[in-house]
Amino acid sequence: MSSGGAKFKKVRISQGLGRLESSRRVGSFGNMFQSMSNIPSTHTSGSNSGNTVESTFISPLTTNLTENPDPEGHGNPTSPTTPLTPNSESSTPNLNIDSTAEKRGVRGASRGINLDKIIKRHGKIKIAFNPRERISAQNEDLYSEGIGVAAHAQLADVSWWRQIPETNKEKCRKRLLDWFEIEDWNTERVQKLVDQMFQDCYRHWRNRLANYYKEFVRKGKNPREKSPRSEVTDTTWVKVCDWLESTKFKDRSLVNSTNRSKLHYNHTSGNIRVLTRYRKMANPSKVEIWRTTHVDKTGQFVNPTAAALYDKMVELEDKSMEEGETPMSEDEILAEALGHRSGYQKGMGYGVEVAPRGKSSSSTTQQDSQVNEKLSETQNKLENAETKIRTLTIELEEQKERNKNNEEKIETLQAQMQQMQQLWLRMQGNNTTPNCTW
H or E element in which residue 363 lies: helix 362-429
Least confident of 106-120, 326-340, 391-405: 106-120
**Please, what sign has the CA dihedral across residues 265, 271, 276, 277?**
negative
Least confident of 11-25, 214-228, 281-295: 11-25
Q: Would the pLDDT of 182 be above 90?
A: yes
pLDDT, one tens digit per residue, over 215-233 is 999 999 999 999 998 888 8
pLDDT, one tens digit per residue, over 231-263 is 888 998 999 899 899 998 889 888 888 888 888
Euclidean distance between CA atoms 382 and 386, whole angstroms = 6
pLDDT for 219 equals: 94
Secondary structure (3-state) at 225: coil
Q: Do β-strands 41-42 and 86-87 pair in parallel, antiparallel, or remain unpaired? A: unpaired
- The strand pairing partners of 126, in sequence order, are 181
- State how far Cα 152 lies from the chain centre: 16
Euclidean distance between CA atoms 244 and 423, whole angstroms = 48
Encode 89-116: b = buried (16+ Cβ within 10 Å), e = exposed.
Answer: bbbbbbbbbbbeebeeeeeeebebebbe
Q: Quote the DSSP letter at residue 226.
A: S
Taking Cα atoms as reference points, which of 32, 78, 82, 39 lies closest to residue 57?
A: 39
- Is this structure's pTM higher than 0.85? no
Q: Do β-strands 54-55 and 41-42 pair in parallel, antiparallel, or remain unpaired? A: antiparallel
Helix ranges (H only) for 324-361 are 330-338
Report the pLDDT averaged over residues 272-282. Answer: 85
